[in-house]
Amino acid sequence: MNNKVAAIILGAGKGTRMKSDKPKVLMPVCGKSMVRHIIDTLEEIPVDDIVTVISPDGDEVKKEVAPYKTCVQAQQLGTGHAVNCAKDFLAGFDGAVLVVFGDTPLITKETFLRSAKKVEEGFAVVVLGFRPDDPARYGRLVMKDDELLKIVEFKDATDEERKINFCNSGFMAFDGRYLFKILDKIGNQNASGEFYLTDAIEVARQMHLKCAAVEGDPQEVASANTLEELALLEQYYGKRK
């Protein structure tokens, strides 16, 4: 492996739950859009490439992330499908690929680097976990020593798995050599008919690849779907500063 790092930012979401016509990733946190916070942090690493996945009407996002590349997710077919939209730009990239949700602007440079380092150590998929005060609605990370066995959604979890307080933040890092091979094997046989990025763990393990998790702070992994959650992000960011 090497020290190359690229990033895919998932930025196709709409801001409807925030009562705004703006794309969600353009909502401001302390005067700067969520996606710009992420890009500024990635530039500190620095990364070799950034690709942002946008919706068909995502021209505003395209301007905000310039001069970095964008690709269009023509249909909303799930998070796995969104990441796969960046294939034309990153196929053949053999470093770590960070997959960042555009509404999680507070993940630190140190956490990104720790995740990339895990990839360099030989893990094909690395998930950022955290321990919230109330884990109820989050997917659980099922570990065995330093290996991640699976992500199980709360509704599907056994009583034993529900006792786990190590939860999925959504952020993942991949070995670029395997990323698109893994995504190509993810199916959509589920109630929503969507391709879920979380299924990458199961697929990678079927391919005899190793998966791992790193732990982050609950405040840095916070995301915003509502105006209330956006206000919380401002609070967390203010505290950090």
Burial of 143 (0-12, 13-18, 19+ CB in 10 A): middle
* Contact predicate 126/214, CB 8 Å: yes
Selected catalytic residue, list 17, 36, 137, 140: 17
Angle at CA 184, nearest 5°, toward 178 and 185? 95
The upper half-sphere exposure of residue 192, i.e. CA atoms within 13 Å in the direction of its Cβ, equals: 9
Closest CA to 239 of 211, 216, 220: 220
For the question of residue 177 being annotated catalytic, the response is no
Q: Are strands 49-54 and 69-72 parallel, antiparallel or unpaired?
A: parallel
Closest CA to 101 of 119, 127, 124, 131: 127
Catalytic residues: 17
